[in-house]
Structure 1
Amino acid sequence: MNQTTHQRELENRVLRALADEDLKDLGNTLQDTSPDDVVLVLERLTAKQRAIVFRLLHKDEALEVFEALDPSVQSDLVRGLRDAEVAEIFEGLDPDDRVWLLDELPATLAPKLLHGLSERERRLTGVVLGYPQDSVGRRMTPEYVTTRMDYTVADTMVRLRDRIDDAETIYMLPVLDDARHVAGVVSLRDLIAAEPHTIIATIMSEAQSVPASEDAERAARKLTEAGFVALPVVDRERRLVGLLTFDDAMRIIEHEESEDSARQGGVEPLRRPYFATPIMQLVRSRVVWLLVLAVGATLTVQVLDVFEGTLAEVTVLALFVPLLIGTGGNTGNQAATTVTRALALGDVKARDIARVLGREARVGLLLGLLLGTLGFTIAGLVYSWDIGLVIGLTLVAICTVAATIGGIMPLIARWVKVDPAVFSNPFISTFVDASGLIIYFLIARAILGL
């Protein structure tokens, strides 16, 4: 039985037990189910069903399942549980995971949950909450184990054993100097391989760190590209305040890429699994963009109205309108997607706008020459060589303009501090449609003498 079939059968069993109100059968089903499979099922249930299923989980498994859920689903689940259940789960979360959840909860509920924490957990959570919403400080863990340059490996191992239950990761330890500055890092592998009397300063590696105010996505990509297990997070005085772990970095990147892909498709990000999203939220995520793009599309209508006489004289020109605006939109979207990705990876900076403009103009020109040659040949053979020349030259011009505009739009967005994905595909398609038609009809008038 493959994984998909297994998950479908599990979901059907859970739904049947819920429909029959057979909690005994439901409990037996969950008892034989892995936490990962439970998470997949929960994300496809209604809020009420989710609360019932979650209450039947064993205490230890419940916390593991809760931590693996999307923060928005966690928020829905919190509303369906009793106060005592919520308090117990909230206390068991790591501080950074608590903050993910708090960011999704209503403002009135957050103080109540924080008040129920132990003094230590409230203090650690407060450290993370003190940083701006999109900063890496908001996503770091304040639970870690450190060592010092003058400690021995034996001293460090004793320190590690004493604090192992309180640390989110033990595979990389920051090495501090007397002022709590990060002097280096040492891995658990190096500690195990070294002799007990070895001084930490002799085996530590050079540390790369990020300021707590750094954008969380940039910090996460820095960590994953370097292949680190964790990355020290420091304050303005370069003192250690936390660690960004690999699993949190992947979570940040997944969250950001989900937002980008949604906005490139002309919808607002859902921030939750599809089946856990109410119908009205799906509508709201799409309707605003549809209205904006519908207004933008009136530009295309206006252009067609202006050149109505040209179309009336040579009706064959109307046949190529969908081809030309479709090619232009696709070319612009390709360029925008490529540059947006390069921006996210740090390969391109906002100041590189001139270099990007030059590169994308050349790429667009070459694409236009290839497509234009093909268009010229086919249209010339089928209709006339004058029409073929109009189509060929238009494809060259549209591809060059579309690639250039598509390439610099994300950079302009970054420069004015707007999400590049917002400036991407939907707006580029609208702009290129209108400008492409203007280019098309101007070339047709010039060549055909209209």
Structure 2
Amino acid sequence: MPEERIEELLEQRDFKQLKLELEDMYPVDLAEIMEELTDKQVVLIFRLLPKEEAAETFSYMNAEMRQVLIDALTDSELQEVMEEMYIDDTVDVLEEMPANVVDRLLLVTDEETRKQINMLLQYPDDSAGSIMNVEYIALRKEMTVAEAILKIRQVGINKETIYTCYVTEKRKLIGSVDVKDLLTTGENKVIEEIMETNPLFVRTLDDKEDVANTIHKYGLIAIPVLDQEMCMVGIVTVDDAMIVLQDEATEDMSVMAGVVPNEESYFGTSVWKHARNRFPWLLFLMLSATITGLILGHFEAALAVMPILNTFIPMLTGTGGNCGSQSSTLIIRGLTVGEIEFKDIFRVLFKEIRVALLVGLCLSMVNGVRVIIMYGDPLLAFAIGLTMIATILLSKTVGCVLPLVAKKCGLDPAIMAAPLITTLVDTGTILVYFAIVTRIFHI
């Protein structure tokens, strides 16, 4: 149902029809539409939603809209929402709220839920423990299939996923079994006979991006999480893994563009914060450009003898920066999906050098023809072509090596992306350019 239809029903005060039509909407779509409505309309619509749909819609909202609802709802209404939300979604909400709001939300939850929330909040933000859900279905190995199915029917309504169940013994993970296997197996069979005895698992302190990549790699719906004592404490589901990968991709894009990562939406971030996030990299790039200026000043005599050399500097530095960015982007992608590791550095370097030679030769020939046509100087065309090849070799090498070195040192490879690589390549290009032309033209 489009936003216009909702506003029309609100103006007509036809709340009965509005409630009926809201029930047919997906919570994620409804959350997006509500972002365009007034605060009063948001509160009114939210109160028309059934409890389960309201809780799910709440989990998809941005922080500003959640704040509006929290301020408007009574404690009993908030309690209903919190009871319907899964623990991991509740933790995500609390992490974005100010301390006074967190206190109010915790007060309307029961003691057991509050204990689980506090446990999850203690894990580092980048760990598996911070995104796991403590609600999962645990079976015993001596259960029959019929008993297992009965348990799923009894407790499955409160679990985020029931498609994979976990077999535990004194909280130790000893196996897993899919619901498909339960439904296609004789009811008298024992779980121990059909369970997978070597399930994949992760630890609570494992990096959440690695966990998300594991789920993606093996096509899992969920993966169990074990603590340091090898006891099962929760699961990470595929939807949470997708959010992690999306957040990591957004963060990498921000860093590669020279912007401090920001979890808030574009319109939800103030102008001051936008400026503050962009300023550090811009300051670094501005100051680093001073080095290029100093190098150009050192070769001022050569430029005075051949002013035409100035006209090729933007082309050479631009080509070098673009080539370096291409290589770094491909390497960072390979590192992210696990296709490339640090041990592959020489294979990567060998491949990029061959690519650089091929690309450099093609570009230098095209540019050489242009220079001869425009300036009628074959020696100048040769000098620029040689510089072009050397620049591309340099930029491809820098672009592929720096992200790998960063990963090996435990840094984010995206830090070594466009802004930093462009700065290094610009400096290197100017040095190579004047080293070649001063020798060829003896200036």
| TM-score (normalised: structure 2) | 0.89
1:76 offset after TM fit, Å? 4.2
Q: Which residue of 1 aligns with 2:306?
A: 314
1:108 offset after TM fit, Å? 4.4
Residue number among 267, 281, 288 corresponding to 1:275 in the alignment: 267
| Maintained 8 Å contact 1:172/1:188 | yes
Residue number among 155, 178, 190 corresponding to 2:181 in the alignment: 190
Between 391-400 and 84-93, report the one with greater CA deviation.
84-93
Q: Which residue of 1 aligns with 2:43?
A: 54
- State the distance in 2 between where 1:373 and 1:403 align: 19
1:273 maps to a residue whose letter is S
**1:243-262 correspondence to structure 2 within 5 Å:** 243-262=235-254
Q: Which residue of 2 aligns with 1:3?
A: none
Q: Which residue of 2 aligns with 1:336?
A: 328
2:222 maps to a residue whose letter is A
Q: Which residue of 2 aligns with 1:263?
A: 255
| Maintained 8 Å contact 1:44/1:275 | no
Q: Which residue of 1 aligns with 2:338?
A: 346
- State the distance in 1 between where 2:412 and 2:72 align: 36
- The yes-or-no answer on 1:224 pairing with 2:216 is yes
SS at match of 1:422: helix
Q: 5+ unaligned residues in a row in structure 2: which ranges?
A: none
- The yes-or-no answer on 1:156 pairing with 2:148 is yes
1:302 offset after TM fit, Å? 2.0
| Maintained 8 Å contact 2:136/2:235 | yes
SS at match of 1:274: coil
- The yes-or-no answer on 1:203 pairing with 2:188 is no
Q: Once superposed, what is the RMSD of the aligned Cα atoms?
A: 2.7
| Maintained 8 Å contact 2:222/2:235 | yes
Measured against aligned partners, the alpha-carbon deviations of 1:314-353 in whole angstroms (never above 9, x if no partner) come to 2222222121111111111111111111111122334544
**1:12-23 correspondence to structure 2 within 5 Å:** 14=7, 22=11
**1:98-137 correspondence to structure 2 within 5 Å:** 98-137=90-129
SS at match of 2:233: strand
- State the distance in 2 between where 1:387 and 1:12 align: 68
Q: Which residue of 2 aligns with 1:24?
A: 13
Q: Which residue of 2 aligns with 1:42?
A: 34
Q: Percent identity?
A: 33
- State the distance in 1 between where 2:66 and 2:341 align: 36
| Maintained 8 Å contact 2:43/2:69 | no
| Maintained 8 Å contact 1:333/1:406 | yes
- State the distance in 2 between where 1:26 and 1:197 align: 52
Q: Which residue of 2 aligns with 1:404?
A: 397
Distance 1:79-1:425 versus aligned 2 partners, 3 A rule: farther
1:134 offset after TM fit, Å? 0.5
- How many residues align? The count is 434
1:207 maps to a residue whose letter is P
1:138 maps to a residue whose letter is S
- State the distance in 2 between where 1:102 and 1:319 align: 57
1:50 offset after TM fit, Å? 4.1
- The yes-or-no answer on 1:65 pairing with 2:60 is no
- State the distance in 1 between where 2:369 and 2:42 align: 64
2:312 maps to a residue whose letter is F
- The yes-or-no answer on 1:435 pairing with 2:428 is yes
Distance 1:357-1:112 versus aligned 2 partners, 3 A rule: farther
| Maintained 8 Å contact 2:56/2:85 | no
- State the distance in 1 between where 2:78 and 2:124 align: 26
Measured against aligned partners, the alpha-carbon deviations of 1:348-375 in whole angstroms (never above 9, x if no partner) come to 3345444434433333333223322322
1:227 offset after TM fit, Å? 0.9
| TM-score (normalised: structure 1) | 0.88
| Maintained 8 Å contact 2:9/2:17 | no
Q: Which residue of 1 aligns with 2:374?
A: 382
Measured against aligned partners, the alpha-carbon deviations of 1:284-331 in whole angstroms (never above 9, x if no partner) come to 332332222222222222222222222222222222212111111111
- State the distance in 2 between where 1:323 and 1:370 align: 15
- State the distance in 1 between where 2:252 and 2:208 align: 15
| Maintained 8 Å contact 1:265/1:425 | yes
SS at match of 1:56: helix
- State the distance in 1 between where 2:19 and 2:247 align: 28
- State the distance in 2 between where 1:174 and 1:51 align: 45
Between 180-189 and 77-86, report the one with greater CA deviation.
77-86
Residue number among 138, 147, 171 corresponding to 2:139 in the alignment: 147
Q: Which residue of 1 aligns with 2:415?
A: 422
| Maintained 8 Å contact 1:140/1:242 | yes
1:80 offset after TM fit, Å? 4.4
- State the distance in 2 between where 1:303 and 1:86 align: 64
1:52 offset after TM fit, Å? 4.2
SS at match of 2:339: coil
1:200 maps to a residue whose letter is I
SS at match of 1:225: helix
SS at match of 1:356: helix
| Maintained 8 Å contact 2:173/2:232 | yes
Residue number among 166, 170, 175 corresponding to 2:167 in the alignment: 175
**1:70-85 correspondence to structure 2 within 5 Å:** 70=62, 72-73=63-64, 76-77=67-68, 80-82=71-73, 84=75, 85=77
Between 151-160 and 275-284, report the one with greater CA deviation.
275-284
1:17 offset after TM fit, Å? 9.6
- State the distance in 1 between where 2:277 and 2:240 align: 26
Between 80-89 and 397-406, report the one with greater CA deviation.
80-89
Distance 1:158-1:268 versus aligned 2 partners, 3 A rule: same
SS at match of 2:267: helix
- State the distance in 2 between where 1:99 and 1:371 align: 54
Q: 5+ unaligned residues in a row in structure 1: which ranges?
A: 1-5
- State the distance in 2 between where 1:281 and 1:26 align: 40
Residue number among 430, 440, 443 corresponding to 1:447 in the alignment: 440
Distance 1:428-1:382 versus aligned 2 partners, 3 A rule: same
1:238 offset after TM fit, Å? 2.3
1:279 offset after TM fit, Å? 2.9
SS at match of 1:183: strand
- The yes-or-no answer on 1:305 pairing with 2:294 is no
1:24 maps to a residue whose letter is R
